[in-house]
Structure 1
Amino acid sequence: MQPWTPHINTYDRASAFVMSFLSSARSTRLNKFNMINHLPVSLLSKMGNYEIKIHGEKVKVSLVDNTAIVGAKIDELKSLLQTQQNPIVGLDFKFVKTKEKSYKGKILVLCVGTRCLIIQLHCMTIFSRTIAQFLSDESICYLGTGMSEIVQELYHQKYCYLYLSGTGEVPVNCKTGVDIGYLAAKVLKKANIEKSNLVSLAEEVGMDIKEPISRCPDWSAIVFSDEEIKYAVYNAYTSYVIGNKLLGML
Structure 2
Amino acid sequence: MAISISNHQVPYNTHDYFDVTFSNDTILTLVTHTPSYVDMWISDIERIHRHRLHSLVVGLDIEWRPSFNRNIQNPVATLQLCVGRRCLIFQLLHAPSIPQSLVNFLRNPNYTFTGVGIESDVEKLVDDYNLGVERMEDLRTLAAEAYGEWELKNGGIKSLAERVLGKEVNKPKWVTMSKWDQQWLKPAQVQYACVDAFLSFEIGKVLISGNYN
Further displaced range: 108-117 or 147-156: 147-156
User: Counterparts of 2:24 and 2:136 in 1: how far apart (Å)?
Assistant: 27
Number of aligned pairs?
Answer: 196
1:156 and 2:115 matched: no
CA RMSD in angstroms, aligned pairs only: 2.7
| Superposed displacement of residue 238, structure 1 | 0.9
Residue of 74, 92, 113 corresponding to 1:121: 92
Instruction: Give 3-state SS (helix, strand or coil) of 1:126's partner.
Output: coil
- Identity in percent: 20
* Uncovered stretches (5+) of structure 2, i.e. residues with no partner: 1-10
What secondary structure, in the 3-state scheme, does the structure 2 residue paired with 1:138 have? Answer: coil
Where structure 1 has 5 or more consecutive residues not aligned to the other structure, the ranges are 1-41, 159-170
Give the distance between the partners of 1:123 and 1:69, measured in 2 at CA. Answer: 14
1:4-62 deviation digits (Å, cap 9, x = unpaired) = xxxxxxxxxxxxxxxxxxxxxxxxxxxxxxxxxxxxxx9456x4100011233111100
Assess if the C-alpha contact under 8 Å between 1:54 and 1:230 holds in 2.
no
Tell me which of 167, 179, 189 is aligned to 1:208: 167
Higher relative contact order (CA 8 A, sep 6+): 2
Correspondence 1:13-92 to 2 at 5 A: 43-44=12-13, 47-82=15-50, 87-92=56-61
Aligned to 1:135: 106
Q: Is residue 165–residue 203 contact of structure 2 (8 Å, CA) maintained in 1?
A: no
| SS of equivalent to 2:109 | coil
TM-score (norm 1): 0.68
User: Conserved in 2, the CA contact under 8 Å of 1:187 and 1:247?
Assistant: no
The more displaced of 190-199 and 126-135 is: 190-199
1:181-192 equivalences under 5 Å are 181-192=140-151
User: Structure 2 vs 1, CA of residues 182 and 55 (structure 1 numbering), >3 Å: closer, same or farther?
Assistant: farther
Q: Greater CA deviation, 210-219 or 226-235?
A: 210-219
Q: Secondary structure at the match of 1:49?
A: strand
Q: Return closer, same or farther for 1:72/1:183 CA change in 2, 3 Å cut-off.
A: same
Structure 2 length as normaliser, TM-score?
0.79
Quote the offset at 1:135 in angstroms.
0.7
Q: Deviations over 1:90-144 (max 9, x none)?
A: 0012123766857466110000001100000111232222211111111111011
* Paired residue type of 2:156: N
1:229 aligns with 2:190: yes
Mapped partners of 2:60, 2:191: distance in 1 = 14
Q: Which one of 62, 65, 70 corresponds to residue 96 of structure 1?
A: 65
- The whole-number CA distance in structure 2 between the counterparts of 1:233 and 1:155 is 22
* Residues 162-208 of structure 1: CA deviation (Å, up to 9, x unaligned): xxxxxxxxx32213122111111233333332222223222322412
